[in-house]
Amino acid sequence: MRTPTIPAMTLCLAMLYVSSTLPADLSAADAPLELRDGDRVVLLGGTLIEREQRFGFWETALTRAWPDRDVTFRNLGWSGDTVWSESRGIFDPPAKGYERMLEHVARLKPTVIIVGYGNAEAFAGADGLDRFIAQYGKLLDDLSGTGARFALLGPLPPQRLGSEHPGDGSYGEKVALYANAINELARQRQIPFIPLEMPETEEPLTNNGLHLNALGYHATAPQIVRGLAGAERAEQIKLPPPATPWPVEDHLSAEAREQLEDPADALRHAIIRKNRLYFHRWRPQNITYLFGFRKHEQGQNAPEVAQFEALVREVEGEIARRRSAVQP
């Protein structure tokens, strides 16, 4: 009987895994990716990226890292998504969702793209690793036409919450394997790699061992700043802790934001509001009726979706004012 062979990439990364069992052991690229004045940052990825917009800690931390610079952010995360855009097809095949994603990113004319994939794909383990890395490379190639600078996020290890959660199974080992693979891809392409680790604490930073809550995004925000701005800047930025692990009210009025005592928290609330408005801009409710195969029923309302652009710009003006008033 023929003995099955192990793909070279899998074997190489398995050896790396032996020497570095946790993503926390991985090193970020030597040259952090500094955000410049006028940068347009796109956050692209799956559940980890999409859920961040509901809490705003990562974006707030990056905004405060360069308070004198006009940097805008667009969150294009999609829960359950993969490097094949398997969640973005809606009623179309994933290939169509992938095409729409590339077109959307191109329209935004980003100067920086922070890519965060690997958590969903890691469930496939070593058997799916070569296919994942091949598609990840293709994704970066397909996005390279934007001329943007890239940074790659490592997948987030699970939090150990008990035997019923993935943190106590083999999933953590799979995440480490995929983190090593992404790190190697970043090294080959000379792209900054931002390793993510689950902070050691008794607090529940996740809802289920996998998905960060407000406490989790607050606790991991320094890792994002460290990967782009360096350790010294990350140490300088202090974010007010969340009052609750759950999402805050994203429709907090401008008047209510003015009444908040902590300027940094007011900044975060403005960022959350901006993110929610932009979410409605690109993923409106009843999207199938507005733009899809049932647009003959409500398509006449589609032009109104573009009006969210003005609302987004208005809140971004507030963000610019607040970021200048809040020093690290």
- pLDDT grade for 94, boundaries at 50, 70 and 90: very high
- pLDDT grade for 251, boundaries at 50, 70 and 90: low
Residues 300, 284: Cα–Cα separation, whole Å? 14
Could you identify the residue written with the tokens 């917009």? 53
- Average of per-residue pLDDT values in the chain: 87
Query: Has residue 8 got a pLDDT over 70?
Result: no
Mean pLDDT of 247-274: 87
- Whole-number pLDDT of residue 15: 40
Q: Lowest-pLDDT range, 81-85, 196-200, 269-273, 302-306?
A: 302-306
Question: Which of the pair, 280 or 325, is modelled with greater confidence?
Answer: 280
Query: Has residue 20 got a pLDDT over 70?
Result: no
- Whole-number pLDDT of residue 163: 59
CB-hemisphere CA count at 13 Å for 136? 30
Domain residue ranges in the chain: 8-241, 248-328
Burial class (CB in 10 A: 0-12, 13-18, 19+), 204: middle
Query: Has residue 29 got a pLDDT over 90?
Result: no
Architecture of domain 8-241: 3-Layer(aba) Sandwich (3.40)
Q: Lowest-pLDDT range, 93-97, 108-112, 150-154, 238-242?
A: 238-242
- Whole-number pLDDT of residue 297: 84
- pLDDT grade for 35, boundaries at 50, 70 and 90: very high
Helix (H) or strand (E) holding 151: strand 149-153
Query: Has residue 150 got a pLDDT over 70?
Result: yes
Q: Please state, as a whole number, how many other Cβ atoms lie within 10 Å of the Cβ of residue 328.
A: 16
Between CA 128 and CA 136, with CA 133 as vertex, the angle to 5 degrees is 120
Task: Tell me if residue 194 falls in helix, strand or coil.
Answer: strand
- pLDDT grade for 19, boundaries at 50, 70 and 90: very low
- Whole-number pLDDT of residue 293: 75
- pLDDT grade for 13, boundaries at 50, 70 and 90: very low
Could you identify the residue written with the tokens 């208005």? 314
Terminal Cα-to-Cα distance of the chain (whole angstroms): 64
Residues 142, 125: Cα–Cα separation, whole Å? 25
- Whole-number pLDDT of residue 202: 87
Query: Has residue 201 got a pLDDT over 50?
Result: yes
Query: Has residue 185 got a pLDDT over 70?
Result: yes
Residues 106, 102: Cα–Cα separation, whole Å? 6
Q: Which residues of 58-91 are buried (b: 16+ CB within 10 A; e: fewer)?
A: bbbbbbbbbbeeebbbbbbbbeebbbbbbbbbee
Q: Lowest-pLDDT range, 115-124, 186-195, 241-250, 272-281?
A: 241-250
Query: Has residue 68 got a pLDDT over 80?
Result: yes
- pLDDT grade for 243, boundaries at 50, 70 and 90: confident
Q: Lowest-pLDDT range, 12-26, 114-128, 196-210?
A: 12-26
